[in-house]
Every structure is written in structure tokens, then in C-alpha cells.
């Protein structure tokens, strides 16, 4: 007989319990939504903050790391929003700007929806929304059992709901811009949905404005529901987080049949970033490519954890994540491909590649395959190593100084994933981010 361990609540958990009690009445949503919040919060309380004995969080022991829970962000003041106006206008982004300030969608700062696209705030949908959207917002069971996803569902303050009409071809990207109006670090919980109709085509780009999403504690959830034969590209810039900040980003993607889905995320910054991806193939013959690059130095830390579920036959999944680790940085990649019995002819490949620039860095790789179908081609791989001295010498022998040779190879390593992006302007922006990270590198 083993004694049951009942962990005491951490100060952060205690604050979250108090905080939920205080705000739940004012959080948006119908009575059904309020019930959903209660259920999710109960699930969170039972599990507590994720810790190392929770397999999916083994390396990122949030229970220990998160010493306190910050106060919930207040609704931004009109003056603060006014102040953000010119910053938004100055953003060098092409396409439609949609601004989320401390978790809340702000139509006044945002562009109008292009043709074929309907945009609402999450609060509106939760209060008066259509039942089908509410189902999609619940993530269709993806992330079930994850305490951070449950906490997000309980506390979600606002977010954006984007509906792309069937057959609509949205030419320019829809930019989700995260901004902040708070002078002090706060906690924000946002949940957004992109529902893409059959045969539609859209590009979504997530980025930050100023310290938006880069300070305090962020628990964000972005859900994609993609209908048959649609085409979606997605990029996310999770860069520039400040020291002490915690950014938890959940990315849920469910795909119909013959969909093409392509996603790239760039992670850098001094705060802790945990990105969790739940990918589900519901329809046959879909293709998904998930890519990510994490550039970490100092004592920075980033965790990407991916769960790809093949539930339908003949889908192609490509997952490739790269890390450049310098100084004493720590990288985590956990990836699991699950192939259900009915998902015959699945072609799933997952790869993690880490460049370790010093002896002081740590890379944790945990690739897994869980296959219940008998006619599949699945593979996973993980590599860790330094830059090739042979390649550096080759470049030096052609005239490049050592540092330049090294920088060229590092840039090539990270930018290789960006080169595959279709949208050249987006690729250019991402290349710029990678170059500036490398330029700031202190070569010892």
C-alpha cells in the first residue's frame, strides 16, 4: 500500500484560486460558458500547476518555476489605447492588422476584416455565440488533461474569433498583434479561434508590439479548425520576452481532408517560453508542416512540446524544430506522433536538430512514436552537435574571417526553415529577426 501524496498548494496556485473566485462573475460568457469555466477550473485545481512528474511537462517544472501568480490584466484604458494607435500604424506589416491588448481584442485599433472574413471578439462569441463556434473554441478535446489548457479555458478573458468563409481566398496575411497597456507585469489569458471554411485560403501571422506578450505571464491559446481542401499558412514570432516573464502558448490545429497546413514559429528571449502544439488529422490526405526555430543564449529556456494525432488515412506530417543554444541556455523538444488504427498510409516524420555552441548548454530531446496502424511510414530523429570545423575552415580558406564564417553557418542553419516559406515578405521579416539575434551574439 502506498501513501497518497497530497501536495499542498503553492502560493501561485493559491493566488489563482482566489483570483478565479474574484473575477469569474465578470468573465464573459453565457451560463453554459460559466459552467465550462467552473469545470475547467476544478480540473486545474485538482491537477495543480504542471510539475516534473507530469510527463508532458517533465522538463518544465512550472510548479517550481512559477513562484507567484500575477494579478489579472485590467481592461486597457482609453488613454492607453490612444497611445498605442500610432505604434500600430507604424508597424511595418503588410495585410490586415488585428490588435489584442493584454488578452482583449480591440477593434478600434484594428483594421476592418477583408472580404470573406468575419471577425468577432471572443467575449461576444462566448456571450451570444453560435454553438458550433463554442464547440470549436473548446478545442474538440485536444489538450484534454493539460492543466494549463484547463486554466486557460477557465480564465480566458477575451481573444479573437476569425471565420474565413468557404472558398474565400484571403490575399494578404491577417496579423494577430499582441500589445500591452499595462505598466506593471500582469497575467493575461486569451483564447482565439481561426475557423477556415472548405477550399478557403488564408495566412495568419502572430507578432508582438512593444512589450506585448513579452512581459508578465501569458497563457495564450490559438485554435485552428480547418475544413476540407483549405490552405493555411501560419507564422508566429515569440521573440523578445523579458527576464522573469512566463509565456505559455497552446496551439491547437484540427484538419479536415486534403488540407494544406504550414506553420513556422521563432522563439527567442530571456523569459521562459513553453509552446505546446496539438495537431490532429481528422480527414484523409492532408499535409501539415510544423516548423520552429529557437535561438537561446545566456540562461534562456524554451520548451516546444508537440502531439500529432493521425486519426485519418494517408496524411503527411512533417515536424522539424531547430535550436541554437549558446552560453548556458536550455532547450526542450518533446514530440509524439500517434497513429490510430484507421490512419493507414500515414507518412509522419519528426526531426529535432540542435546546434550546441558551448559545453554549458543543455538540450533535452524526447521523440516518441505511438503506432496502431500497420501500413505506415513514420520516423523521428534528433541530432545535437557543434558547428562543423571543416565547414568553417572551408569558408575561411575563401577569405571569410572565423567569426563571419561561423555567423554565416549559424544563419544558414536557422534560416533554412524560413527559406521554405511561400510569402517572401514574411520570410524577409523572419530572416531579419534571425540576423539581429546573431548580430547581438557575443563571440568568445
Partner 1 sequence: MLEVKNLNVSIGDRKILNDFCITVKDGEVAAIMGPNGTGKSTLSYVMSGRPGYTVESGEVLLNGVNLLDFEPNERAAKGLFLAFQYPLEIPGVATMTFLKAALNAQRKYRGEPELSTPELMKKVNAAASKLGIKSDMMKRALNVGFSGGEKKRMDILQMALLEPSFGILDETDSGLDIDALRIVSEGVNSLRDPKRGFLVITHYQRLLDYIVPDTVHVMAGGRIVRTGGKELALELEKSGYAEYLGEEKAA
Residues that bind partner 1 (CB under 8 A): 388-391, 393-402, 404-405, 408-409, 411-413, 415-416, 419
**63 is written with which cell numbers?**
510548479
CB of 342 to partner 1, least distance (A): 37
Q: Using an 8 Å Cβ cutoff, are 265 and 273 in contact? A: no
Q: Does residue 281 sit in helix, strand or coil?
A: strand
Instruction: Give the residue with the Cβ less far from partner 1, 147 or 405.
Output: 405
CB of 391 to partner 1, least distance (A): 5
Instruction: Give the residue with the Cβ less far from partner 1, 261 or 323.
Output: 323
CB of 397 to partner 1, least distance (A): 5
Instruction: Give the residue with the Cβ less far from partner 1, 163 or 411.
Output: 411
CA–CA distance, 386 with 379 (Å, rounded to integer): 23
Instruction: Give the residue with the Cβ less far from partner 1, 372 or 393.
Output: 393
CA–CA distance, 129 with 224 (Å, rounded to integer): 17
CA–CA distance, 304 with 293 (Å, rounded to integer): 10
In 191-279, which residue ranges form alpha helices assigned H by DSSP? none
CA–CA distance, 133 with 131 (Å, rounded to integer): 5
CB of 321 to partner 1, least distance (A): 16
CB of 319 to partner 1, least distance (A): 19
**19 is written with which cell numbers?**
483570483
Instruction: Give the residue with the Cβ less far from partner 1, 241 or 352.
Output: 352
Q: For strand 187-196 and strand 117-121, is the pairing parallel, antiparallel, or unpaired?
A: unpaired
CA distance readout (Å), 311 to 15, 43, 279: 39, 26, 10
CB of 404 to partner 1, least distance (A): 6
CB of 414 to partner 1, least distance (A): 8
What is the length of the chain? 444
Instruction: Give the residue with the Cβ less far from partner 1, 75 or 387.
Output: 387
Q: Which long-range contacts (CB under 8 A, 24 or more apart) does 434-441 make?
A: 434/266, 434/293, 434/295, 435/411, 437/239, 437/268, 437/295, 438/295, 438/407, 438/410, 438/411, 438/414, 441/297, 441/326, 441/407, 441/410
CB of 264 to partner 1, least distance (A): 15
Instruction: Give the residue with the Cβ less far from partner 1, 34 or 408.
Output: 408
Query: What is the residue-wise DSSP string for 89-142?
Result: HH----SEEEEEETTEE-GGGSPPPPTTEEEEEHHHHHHH--HHHHHHHTGGGT
Instruction: Give the residue with the Cβ less far from partner 1, 323 or 413.
Output: 413
CB of 357 to partner 1, least distance (A): 16
Closest CA to 220 of 189, 187, 185, 181: 189
CA–CA distance, 65 with 186 (Å, rounded to integer): 17
CA distance readout (Å), 13 to 16, 186, 274, 409: 5, 16, 19, 44
Instruction: Give the residue with the Cβ less far from partner 1, 374 or 424.
Output: 424
**294 is written with which cell numbers?**
529557437
Instruction: Give the residue with the Cβ less far from partner 1, 368 or 419.
Output: 419
Unique residue bearing C-alpha cell 498548494:
9
Instruction: Give the residue with the Cβ less far from partner 1, 397 or 443.
Output: 397
CB of 293 to partner 1, least distance (A): 12
CB of 70 to partner 1, least distance (A): 40
Instruction: Give the residue with the Cβ less far from partner 1, 153 or 418.
Output: 418
CB of 401 to partner 1, least distance (A): 5
The distance from CA 320 to its chain's CA centroid, rounded to whole angstroms, is 15
CA distance readout (Å), 202 to 207, 234, 425: 17, 9, 15
Amino acid at each position: 500500500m502506498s501513501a497518497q501524496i497530497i501536495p499542498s498548494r503553492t502560493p501561485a496556485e493559491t493566488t489563482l484560486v482566489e483570483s478565479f473566485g474574484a473575477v469569474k462573475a465578470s468573465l464573459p460568457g453565457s451560463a453554459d460558458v460559466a459552467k465550462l469555466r467552473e469545470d475547467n477550473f476544478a480540473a486545474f485545481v485538482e491537477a495543480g500547476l504542471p510539475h516534473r512528474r507530469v510527463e508532458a511537462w517533465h522538463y518544465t517544472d512550472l510548479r517550481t518555476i512559477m513562484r507567484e501568480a500575477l494579478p489579472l490584466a485590467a481592461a486597457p484604458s482609453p488613454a492607453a489605447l490612444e497611445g498605442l494607435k500610432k505604434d500600430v500604424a507604424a508597424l511595418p506589416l503588410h495585410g490586415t492588422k488585428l490588435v489584442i491588448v493584454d488578452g482583449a481584442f480591440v477593434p478600434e485599433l484594428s483594421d476592418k476584416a477583408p472580404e470573406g472574413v468575419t471577425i468577432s471578439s471572443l467575449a461576444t462569441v462566448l456571450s451570444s455565440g453560435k454553438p458550433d463556434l463554442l464547440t470549436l473554441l473548446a478545442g474538440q478535446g485536444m489538450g484534454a488533461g493539460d492543466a494549463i489548457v484547463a486554466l486557460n479555458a477557465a480564465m480566458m478573458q477575451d481573444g479573437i474569433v476569425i471565420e474565413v468563409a468557404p472558398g474565400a481566398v484571403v490575399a494578404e496575411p491577417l496579423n494577430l498583434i499582441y500589445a500591452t497597456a499595462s505598466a506593471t507585469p500582469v497575467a493575461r489569458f486569451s483564447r482565439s479561434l481561426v475557423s477556415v471554411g472548405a477550399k478557403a485560403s488564408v495566412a495568419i501571422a502572430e507578432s508582438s508590439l512593444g512589450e506585448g506578450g513579452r512581459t508578465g505571464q501569458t497563457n495564450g491559446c490559438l485554435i485552428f479548425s480547418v475544413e476540407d481542401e483549405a490552405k493555411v499558412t501560419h507564422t508566429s514570432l515569440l521573440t523578445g520576452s523579458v527576464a522573469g516573464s512566463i509565456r505559455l502558448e497552446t496551439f491547437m490545429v484540427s484538419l479536415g481532408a486534403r488540407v494544406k497546413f504550414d506553420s513556422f514559429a521563432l522563439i527567442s528571449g530571456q523569459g521562459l517560453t513553453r509552446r505546446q502544439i496539438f495537431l490532429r488529422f481528422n480527414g484523409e490526405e492532408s499535409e501539415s508542416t510544423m516548423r520552429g526555430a529557437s535561438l537561446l543564449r545566456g540562461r534562456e529556456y524554451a520548451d516546444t512540446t508537440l502531439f500529432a494525432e493521425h486519426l485519418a488515412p494517408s496524411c503527411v506530417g512533417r515536424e522539424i524544430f531547430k535550436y541554437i543554444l549558446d552560453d548556458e541556455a536550455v532547450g526542450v523538444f518533446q514530440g509524439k506522433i500517434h497513429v490510430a488504427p484507421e490512419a493507414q498510409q500515414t507518412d509522419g516524420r519528426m526531426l529535432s536538430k540542435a546546434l550546441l555552441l558551448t559545453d554549458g548548454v543543455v538540450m533535452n530531446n524526447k521523440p516518441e512514436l505511438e503506432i496502431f496502424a500497420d501500413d505506415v511510414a513514420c520516423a523521428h530523429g534528433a541530432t545535437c552537435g557543434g558547428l562543423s570545423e571543416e565547414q568553417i575552415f572551408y569558408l575561411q580558406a575563401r577569405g571569410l574571417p572565423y567569426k563571419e564564417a561561423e555567423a554565416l553557418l549559424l544563419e544558414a542553419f536557422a534560416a533554412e526553415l524560413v527559406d521554405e516559406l511561400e510569402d517572401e515578405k514574411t520570410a524577409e521579416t523572419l530572416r531579419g529577426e534571425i540576423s539581429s539575434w546573431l548580430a547581438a551574439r557575443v563571440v568568445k
